[in-house]
Structure 1
Amino acid sequence: MNQTSSPLRAGVVGAGVFGGYHAGKYASAPGVSFQGVFDPVSDRAGAVSEAHGGKAFDSLQGLIESCDVITVASPAIFHHDAVRRALLADRAVLVEKPLAATLEEARALADLARARGLVLRVGHQERFVFNAMGLFGDLPHAQTLSARRMGVPSARNLDVSVTLDLMIHDIDLVLALAGSAPDRVDAQMDAGRAGLADHIRCRLSFPGGLVAELESSRVAEARDRVMEIGYQGGAHVRVDFIAKTFDSQGGLALNPDFADAPEARDSLGANVAAFLDAVRGSGAGGPAADGEAGWLALETALRIDEAAGARSRI
């Protein structure tokens, strides 16, 4: 789709927290006409739409017909239906993670987007922070990685495991660095409700030699999001995603001022902008995750939950 001469009409499925964020990004984006929101809870759809100058749609189909590009920010169980219907209508889609609730659904969406030549992107926005630091640049081979992503209790995303809720961000980053799926997954659930993981630890071993140890919790006492990477030759970096700082050793070619870069200050906005550029044909999407990357992140997350004996969703 090439829409360089006329505004892209954009809409959002889901009027939760992230639906509101996406609505705000579209409403303020140049060359975009924000149309509104569809959510089964009409009051919420009305509030988000009104706040950003759009309207509340009575049906998903009505939103799809009125838009060129669509963000799907509903609960994961509804992703497949909304994304599929939008793709079948030849609309480009940005869907929040995870891509879908099951591997079969995720594969079907990735294949459908490819078959129809449509842009499908997944909301793995931490990639843009990584990119701003230079961690996707020409660096030595990563040999070890440890990541800790801890969150405090909240009412968000309790229909899925912490693996699909929080850890999937670090899973996606590890997969992007490794360039392949892990050939071994070991995991342990430390806390959970009715088998649904709230605190999980795992070890991922990759064919290229990278070993990654990840830990995520959504029942922690404080937020903490740190990653450490050890490279061939002894170089090392420690990243604090909350403070947006890093410490490095070994002469790594990283950007010390990355926190001032637009894609680090507003990674969601950077992902939306890259999505719109890809739709217009004016950019390849930068480090954005496509349908294949979304599928692989979901596949790895489900393998982790299975190894830990945990359920992935209610």
Structure 2
Amino acid sequence: MRIGIIGLGKIGSLHLKVCRQIKGIKKLYLVDIDKSKLLNYPYPTFSDYRKLKDLVDGVIIATPTSTHFPIASFFLKSRMPVLVEKPLTPTLKEARSLVRLAKERRTLLFVGHVERYNAAYISIRKLIKSPRFIECHRLSSYPYRSLDISVVLDLMIHDLDIILDITKDKVKKIEAIGVNVLSPSIDIANVRLTFEKGCVANITASRISKERIRKFRVFSHNTYISLDYANQIAEIYQKKDKTIQKKILKVKKQQPLERELREFVTLVKKKRNPLIFATKAKNALELALKIQKVIEKNI
């Protein structure tokens, strides 16, 4: 299989590192408008992504979010399978357009919400029943990248995607506050979501923290589940016979990005194009943009 990677910044370089390890990928092509990023690689390189059209079986788009729509549109129109890094696009209108195009062309539109592939999350996903309260903390140091988008679209969207996955419910109320500290857009944000069935989620995301924390907690009747994404640790606490019993779940650790890329490669190889990946990404983006709008009103 031949894969093209468009954008060789931090995220694109991670994709390249993992793609090198996947046996099913026989040839790689690299694209970046900054030619200095393409030096010293033993692969064909280009500054124009359009030159990949007849050379590859699928593309990975790891460019700034503002460029996702035109690049993804170009390949989808050519019926080329696409993996786009999150967020799918900066606007809901563009996201809807890409989802519609993928459906019309019956072409795979895969979106890089990598936490779906975290082994710890996979281990607890089916154990979550009727969540009542969810608490998320996602803190990172200043990234010096993705500054064209807010922390809501950069980091919080990971947790929004997971929360929508486990609640399977509509948001009734959004309360949010955020501050732009080091960049022109929001760098730290806290959100409280109330769902129609009564679940409440409290989410904090920051890209100006000294610590790197990615933790997720879910509370339901007689059960509390704790998830550490960074260390791929999952714990479950349950009330039994008037005592609290703790169980550390067995987690077969694996790099989430590797799981994600292996699934993408498998889908491309089998010529499958499920729309669910793009639809879920669009839903997470829609919620993230609503949150961002509430924050901007409060600044």
- Scaled by the length of structure 2, what TM-score is found? 0.90
AA aligned opposite 1:304: I
- Secondary structure of 1:250's match? strand
Q: Do structure 1's residue 96 and structure 2's residue 85 form an aligned pair?
A: yes
Question: Amino acid of the residue matched to residue 42 of structure 1?
Answer: K
Q: Is the 8 A contact 1:87 1:113 kept in 2?
A: yes
Alignment correspondent of 1:5: none
In structure 1, stretches of 5+ residues that fail to align are 1-7
The one-letter code matched in structure 2 to 1:248 is I
Is 1:10 paired with 2:3?
yes
Structure 1 position 135, deviation (Å): 2.4
**Structure 2 partner of 1:298:** 285
Contact 2:123–2:249 (Cα < 8 Å) also in 1: no
CA contact (8 A) 1:195 1:310 kept: no
- Give the CA deviation at 1:292: 0.7
Give every structure 1 segment of 4 or more consecutive aligned residues whose post-TM-superposition deviation is greater than 4 Å. 130-133, 251-255, 282-285
Please name the residue that 2:65 is paired with: 76
Distance (Å, rounded) in 1 between the aligned partners of 2:208 and 2:182: 11
Aligned length in residues: 293
**Structure 2 residue 299 is matched with structure 1 residue 309:** no
Instruction: Give me the CA root mean square deviation.
Output: 2.5
Q: What secondary structure sits across from 2:26 in the alignment?
A: strand
Q: Structure 2 vs 1, CA of residues 17 and 147 (structure 1 numbering), >3 Å: closer, same or farther?
A: same
Counterpart in the other structure of 2:99: 110
In the TM superposition, what is the alpha-carbon distance from 1:208 to its structure 2 partner? Answer: 2.5
> 2:20 aligns to what SS in structure 1?
helix
| Counterparts in 2 of 1:195 and 1:57: CA distance versus 1, 3 Å | closer
C-alpha deviation, 1:206, in angstroms: 1.5
Amino acid at match of 2:285: L
CA–CA separation in structure 1 for the residues paired with 2:111 and 2:163: 16
SS of corresponding position for 2:82: strand
Pick aligned residue for 1:247 from 235, 258, 266: 235
In structure 2, relative to structure 1, the CA distance for the partners of 1:220 and 1:194 (3 Å cut) is closer
What is the alpha-carbon distance in structure 1 between the residues aligned to residue 178 and residue 37 of structure 2?
35
1:140 aligns with 2:129: yes
Matching of residues 1-314 of structure 1 within 5 Å: 8-47=1-40, 50=41, 53-129=42-118, 133-192=122-181, 196-231=185-220, 233-250=221-238, 256-258=249-251, 260-261=252-253, 265-281=254-270, 290-309=277-296
Distance, in Å, in 2 between the alignment partners of 1:193 and 1:179 is: 35
Structure 1 pair 303–65 and aligned structure 2 pair: CA distance change class (3 A)? same
Which residue type is aligned with residue 22 of structure 1?
A: H
Q: Identity percentage over the alignment?
A: 25
- Where does structure 2 lack aligned partners over 5 or more consecutive residues? 240-244
Distance apart, 1:15 and its partner CA: 0.8
Whether the 8 Å contact between 2:236 and 2:248 is mirrored in structure 1 is no
Give the equivalent residue in structure 1 for 2:242. Answer: none
